[in-house]
Amino acid sequence: MIVGLTGGIGSGKSAVSAQLKALGISVVDADQVARDVVLVGSPALSHIAKHFGSQILLQDGTLNRAALRQQIFVDKTQRQWLESLLHPLIGAAIGEQLAVASSTYAVLESPLLLETSQHKNIDFVVVVDASEAHQRQRACQRDGAKADQIDAIIDTQMPRQQRLDKADWVLDNQHDLSHLSEQVLQLHHHLCYLTDHQL
């Protein structure tokens, strides 16, 4: 069984996935996969450098993410070009990693699970939920980002209620870590039960 784990920025996805890993569950991180497909020496990075020019690379040959973000935010066609290159590669890499997972169930952690086609291969959707005030506070503390930057990211993500409506299970992360841990344990037992009783 493949479980999708999602939530808005600063909702606590990483805390949940860390606990699931500690329980022996294989977790594939979509953000990490997206970074891996553009590592130095990858065909994707060569395509990007050829398309946008060498100024899109830093001195050490890695992708200049800030420069790339500027290009794709001002020009929608450039963003579409980039997505058409990367999304199939990311999807294939995620599929490969999930296929070799050997735990009772496997988890795909992705901030854009419900906004992209990633949710199509998911059997069970878990949403980590927190109020926008909590999201803002956590993301600012974690990333050192300004509140208006966090607000801009929140605005690009699926509205909170819409995300909740698509959930099979909601983890309420508006309290302390021990409260969240108890819920993760309940979720884990439920998913193990579902896996054991699959036809």
The secondary structure of 55-117 as a DSSP string is GGB-TTSSB-HHHHHHHHHH-HHHHHHHHHHHHHHHHHHHHHHHHT--SSSEEEE-TTTTTSG
Backbone angles phi, psi at 178, to 5 degrees: -70, -35
The domain locations on the chain are 1-25+103-199, 32-91
Question: Any idea which fold 1-25+103-199 has?
Answer: Rossmann fold (3.40.50)
* 199 band by pLDDT with thresholds 50, 70 and 90: very low
Average pLDDT over residues 15-29: 96
CA–CA distance, 43 with 45 (Å, rounded to integer): 6
* 143 band by pLDDT with thresholds 50, 70 and 90: low
Average pLDDT over residues 142-156: 72
Q: Is residue 56 a contact partner of residue 63, using CB atoms and an 8 Å limit?
A: yes
Q: Is residue 124 a contact partner of residue 168, using CB atoms and an 8 Å limit?
A: yes
pLDDT in tens, 159-196: 889 999 999 999 999 888 899 999 999 999 999 999 98
Q: Residue 53 belongs to what H/E stretch?
A: none
141: tokens are 């503390």
